[in-house]
Amino acid sequence: MVKESTPPADHSTSAPAAVDKPNAKKTPKEKAPALEDKLFNDFIRQDYLPALKAALISQGLGDLVLNFDEKQLPILNLNCWQVSGLWMDGQRQFNIAFLDGDIQGAKVFTIASHGSQPSTLEPFLIDERKSTLDLLVLGIVKRLNGQKWLARN
C-alpha cells in the first residue's frame, strides 16, 4: 500500500507575491490635432482670418477688411479659394489664392492698388515643407512690409 503524502506547508516568512505594479512605461498622451489639420474652410475661417487680421491691425491697418471666397483668380482665369484683404478705402488690396483648396498645396499671392486688377502672380511660401498658421500670417506681413505698405522703411 502506497501512502500519499502531501508536501509540508511552507510556513517560512517569505515576501508576499509581487503586487502588480502599473507599467513603468506609460503610453504618451495623444496630442491634440494641429490647427493646420482642420478642414480647410474651418481652419481659414476660425483660425487664419482672425490671426491675420490681428497681425495686420497691429501693423496699423485699422480699416482692414478680410474676405474668404471661392472666386475667379485674375490672370489665370481659375476658380479657387482666396483670402483677400482691402484697406485704405479699397485703394490697396492683396490676395492669397489656394490653388488646391488646401493650405499645404500650391499658393499664389497678388497685390493691386488704386482699384486696379492684379497684374502679377507670385508663388507664395513655395520653399516651406509645411505651412503653419504662423508661417501663413508671417508670409503676408513680410510681403506687405516688403511692398512698404505697412510701415515706412
Q: Is residue 122 part of a domain?
A: yes
Question: Largest alpha-carbon pair distance within the chain?
Answer: 117
Please write the tens of the pLDDT for every residue from 13-54.
555 555 555 555 666 677 766 767 788 889 999 999 999 999
Q: Is residue 91 part of a domain?
A: yes
SS3 state at 94: strand
Please write the tens of the pLDDT for every residue from 100-136.
888 888 999 988 888 777 777 888 888 777 888 899 9
Q: Is residue 112 part of a domain?
A: yes
Q: Is residue 151 part of a domain?
A: no
What integer pLDDT is reported at residue 61 of this predicted model? 82
Count structural domains, the chain: 1
Distance CA 81, CA 125 (A): 16
Task: Residue 128: name the closest of 106, 100, 97, 99 by CA.
Answer: 106
Backbone dihedral region for residue 31 (phi beyond 0: left; psi -120 to 50: alpha; all else: beta) = beta
Q: Is residue 61 part of a domain?
A: yes
Q: Is residue 56 part of a domain?
A: yes
Q: Is residue 14 part of a domain?
A: no
Does 9 score more than 70 pLDDT?
no
Q: Is residue 130 part of a domain?
A: yes
Please write the tens of the pLDDT for every residue from 52-102.
999 999 888 888 999 999 999 877 788 999 999 998 888 889 999 999 888
Q: How far is CA 149 from CA 72, 133, 141, in A?
A: 25, 22, 10
Range of the domain at 48: 36-146
* Whether 148 contacts 54, CB under 8 Å: no
